[in-house]
């Protein structure tokens, strides 16, 4: 039967997304794609891969595959090669589509004197802003009144938003041409220059009345704690670090982070919700409104949490989007990833360095209140993670991995293996350039680390060529210095009494990393032990845990269990090393 015939007997919807080829009707199931308040039925085959379903959505709806996230019954359909059936998606199921749009747009600018440069700009900025940056960035460049900006020969108004410039090549880059305005004589332009623009303007123009601002704590001028600001319109904001253990000192980098975020809020700069990601992630500005300083992710806006702004339904059993995680614990996991990312020079608690081995941005648990967050009911304080905003030129999703230095990929692999990260896709690794011009990778989004089962561990870097190379001696030394018991105690000290199953995950993954390195295995070989080849086949680490579970007597101690895991792991690693 032709697909047209199928449509004729099924009056469901004229917008129905059809499969590409005529297939017999009974092979199909109909699923419902929910997004932004609308629901579109799609007919799919149970044997269709998730990748092919996404491709179909791309061709009918225009959202490119890499920007789509599909969620069904509380689970992200993350594995592209797995089938609809593998995920247990059945006829009539609703699949939620979350579309990630980058906040930044790449722009290429050519000047009339033949200079050319490329930079990123926030999509919410307008052409006038681009002009200002051009004028400001280098002396001798024409000022704003002297620039005309054209796109494909058409002059753009200053008020035109970058978001609204639809003309770009297949490369997704907007190509602009700057010419000197006909009206004004101008001085010649300088040579090449580089421009970095990553600071969108989200100022609320209404001014806070500083007289109304008062400190409830820290009135000595050093305190950032418990500051409340009130403006004439009676809006309020609040920002305070959550310090569970009074003995835990706040390092200056986190003190500054809270302070600068607070000052930005105090100046009336609204948090801007990132258009990327499945939860609420708010970009917070500095006092001048010139640059982002931090990212706040409230726990009640996580995927499947009660105030999720992306329309994902509530979790029915409390489990997060990834197996073995819990809704509302993302912030704890984000902070844990920072705390456990020990600097090369020593343990996180004793070292004054803020930069850890893998470079997880400084992160702290905080309470924040602002009407710019998602408050379907009343304005409330929110608990969440506050993380330093890292300047970047995009994520690893935007480019091929070949240019990444080996040690940069290896540092991410060490972090992910230790933390049994269930959400390491390339979009969660930001890219920037170091002073020496080398790419630097910045790991973000650790809300699904330390799950209590290994089922959803996925590492995109596994398939990058660098992962096949062995760790350097320096990295091996770092790995050898790791101690899971110390890590558990450290998290405890900072207020997170790790549940037994998550502590076990940390113990097992640290053990695997250390034993793997001892046997000379590459990140690929170790990572492959942790990740499932496909949805229905347990990973080697899952098999090891299952075997250990079967071996130990009920009521055995955790130490006895770990001893058994160690023996089984040695055996399995020996057989892998022999291959």
Ligand X SMILES: Nc1ncnc2c1ncn2[C@@H]1O[C@H](COP(=O)(O)OP(=O)(O)OP(=O)(O)O)[C@@H](O)[C@H]1O
Nearer to ligand X, 235 or 291 (CB): 291
Q: What is the DSSP letter of 175?
A: E
Which stretch in 337-345, 373-381, 406-414, 426-434 sits in contact with ligand X by CB under 6 A? 426-434
Q: Which of 6, 178, 390, 419 binds ligand X (CB under 6 A)?
A: 390
Q: Which of 200, 264, 279, 372 binds ligand X (CB under 6 A)?
A: 279
Nearer to ligand X, 99 or 150 (CB): 99
The number of angstroms, rounded, from the C-alpha of 7 to the middle of its chain's C-alpha atoms is 40
Which stretch in 16-24, 177-185, 443-451, 506-514 sits in contact with ligand X by CB under 6 A? 443-451
Query: In terms of Cα–Cα distance, which of 78, 558, 41 is closest to 323?
Result: 78
Are 327 and 304 in contact, with CB atoms under 8 Å apart? Answer: yes
Q: DSSP letter string over 184-207? A: S--PPP-S-----------B--SP
User: Is residue 257 a contact point for ligand X (CB under 6 A)?
Assistant: no
- Closest distance to ligand X from the beta carbon of 451 (Å): 14
User: Is residue 444 a contact point for ligand X (CB under 6 A)?
Assistant: yes
User: Is residue 261 a contact point for ligand X (CB under 6 A)?
Assistant: no
User: Is residue 423 a contact point for ligand X (CB under 6 A)?
Assistant: yes
- Report how far residue 291's alpha carbon sits from residue 542's, in angstroms, rounded to the nearest whole number: 44
- Closest distance to ligand X from the beta carbon of 173 (Å): 18
Are 174 and 165 in contact, with CB atoms under 8 Å apart? Answer: yes
Binding mask 288-327 for ligand X (x = CB under 6 A): -------x--------------------------------
- Report how far residue 230's alpha carbon sits from residue 213's, in angstroms, rounded to the nearest whole number: 6
Nearer to ligand X, 295 or 530 (CB): 295
Q: Which of 271, 372, 447, 516 binds ligand X (CB under 6 A)?
A: 447
Binding mask 86-105 for ligand X (x = CB under 6 A): -----------------x--
- What is the 3-state composition of the chain as percent helix, strand, coil, each rounded to the nearest 5? 30, 20, 50
How many residues touch ligand X under the rule CB under 6 A: the total is: 21
Report which secondary-structure segment, H or E, holds 148: strand 147-151
User: Is residue 389 a contact point for ligand X (CB under 6 A)?
Assistant: yes
Which residues have CB under 8 Å from 259's CB, separation 6+?
224
Nearer to ligand X, 200 or 427 (CB): 427
User: Is residue 278 a contact point for ligand X (CB under 6 A)?
Assistant: yes
State the first-to-last Cα distance of the chain, in angstroms, to the nearest integer.
50
User: Is residue 521 a contact point for ligand X (CB under 6 A)?
Assistant: no
Nearer to ligand X, 238 or 389 (CB): 389
**Residue facing ligand X at closest CB distance:** 277
- Report how far residue 15's alpha carbon sits from residue 13's, in angstroms, rounded to the nearest whole number: 5
Binding mask 391-420 for ligand X (x = CB under 6 A): -x----------------------------
Helix (H, G, I), strand (E, B) or coil at 427: helix
Q: Which of 277, 320, 516, 523 binds ligand X (CB under 6 A)?
A: 277
Residue 300: phi and psi, rounded to 5, are -80, 0
Q: Is 154 exposed, middle or buried (0-12, 13-18, 19+ CB in 10 A)?
A: exposed
Which stretch in 200-208, 224-232, 442-450, 502-510 sits in contact with ligand X by CB under 6 A? 442-450
- Report how far residue 185's alpha carbon sits from residue 178's, in angstroms, rounded to the nearest whole number: 15
Q: Which of 428, 505, 510, 564 binds ligand X (CB under 6 A)?
A: 428
Which residues have CB under 8 Å from 234's CB, separation 6+?
none
Which stretch in 154-162, 211-219, 343-351, 427-435 sits in contact with ligand X by CB under 6 A? 427-435
What is the torsional sign of CA 206, 212, 218, 221? positive
Residues making contact with ligand X (CB under 6 A): 103, 274, 276-279, 281, 295, 361, 387-390, 392, 423, 427-428, 430, 444-445, 447
């Amino acid at each position: 039967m032709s697909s047209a015939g199928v449509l004729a007997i099924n009056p469901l919807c004229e917008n129905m997304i059809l499969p590409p080829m005529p297939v017999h009707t009974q092979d199909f199931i109909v699923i419902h794609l929910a997004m932004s308040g609308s629901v579109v039925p799609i007919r799919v085959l149970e044997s269709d891969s998730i990748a092919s379903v996404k491709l179909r959505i791309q061709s009918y709806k225009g959202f490119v595959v890499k920007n789509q996230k599909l969620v069904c019954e509380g689970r992200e359909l993350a594995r592209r090669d797995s089938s609809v059936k593998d995920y247990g998606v059945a006829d009539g199921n609703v699949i939620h589509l979350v579309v990630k749009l980058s906040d930044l747009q790449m722009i290429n600018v050519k000047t009339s004197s033949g200079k050319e440069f490329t930079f990123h700009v926030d999509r919410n900025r307008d052409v006038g802003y681009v002009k200002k940056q051009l004028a400001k960035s280098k002396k001798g460049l024409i000022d704003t009144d002297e620039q005309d900006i054209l796109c494909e020969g058409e002059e753009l108004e200053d008020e035109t938003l970058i978001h609204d410039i639809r003309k770009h090549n297949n490369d997704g880059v907007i190509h602009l041409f700057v010419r000197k305005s006909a009206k004004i004589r101008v001085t010649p332009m300088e040579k090449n220059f580089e421009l970095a623009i990553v600071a969108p303007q989200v100022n609320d123009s209404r001014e806070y009345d500083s007289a109304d601002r008062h400190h409830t704590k820290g009135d000595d001028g050093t305190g950032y704690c418990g500051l409340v600001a009130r403006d004439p319109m009676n809006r309020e904001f609040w920002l305070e670090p959550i310090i569970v253990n009074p003995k835990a000192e706040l390092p200056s980098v986190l003190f500054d982070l809270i302070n600068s975020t607070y000052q930005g809020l105090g100046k009336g700069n609204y948090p801007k919700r990132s258009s990327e990601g499945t939860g609420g992630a708010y970009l917070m500005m500095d006092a001048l409104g010139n640059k982002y300083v931090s990212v706040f992710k409230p726990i009640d806006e996580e995927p499947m949490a009660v105030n999720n702004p992306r329309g994902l339904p509530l979790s029915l059993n409390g489990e997060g989007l990834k197996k073995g995680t819990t809704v509302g614990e993302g912030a704890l996991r984000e902070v844990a990833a920072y705390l456990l990312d020990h600097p090369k020079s020593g343990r996180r608690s004793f070292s004054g360095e803020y930069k850890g081995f893998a470079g997880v941005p400084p992160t702290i648990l905080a309470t924040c209140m602002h009407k710019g967050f998602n408050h379907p009911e009343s304005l409330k304080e929110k608990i969440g993670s506050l993380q330093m905003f890292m300047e970047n030129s995009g994520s690893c999703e935007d480019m091929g991995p070949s240019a990444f230095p080996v040690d940069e990929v290896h540092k991410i692999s060490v972090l992910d293996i230790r933390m049994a990260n269930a959400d390491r896709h390339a979009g969660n690794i930001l890219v920037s350039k170091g002073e020496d011009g080398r790419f630097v990778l910045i790991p973000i989004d650790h809300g699904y680390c330390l799950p209590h089962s290994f089922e959803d561990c996925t590492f995109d870097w596994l398939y990058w060529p660098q992962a096949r190379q062995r760790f350097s001696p320096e990295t091996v030394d770092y790995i050898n210095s790791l101690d899971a018991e110390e890590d558990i105690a450290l998290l405890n000290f900072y207020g997170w009494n790790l549940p037994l199953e998550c502590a076990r995950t940390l113990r097992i993954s640290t053990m695997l990393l250390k034993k793997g390195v001892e046997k000379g295995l590459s990140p690929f070989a170790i990572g492959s032990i942790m990740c499932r080849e496909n949805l229905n086949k347990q990973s080697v680490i899952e098999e090891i845990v299952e075997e250990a579970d079967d071996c130990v007597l009920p009521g055995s101690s955790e130490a006895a269990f770990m001893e058994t895991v160690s023996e089984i792991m040695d055996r399995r690693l020996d057989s892998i090393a022999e291959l």
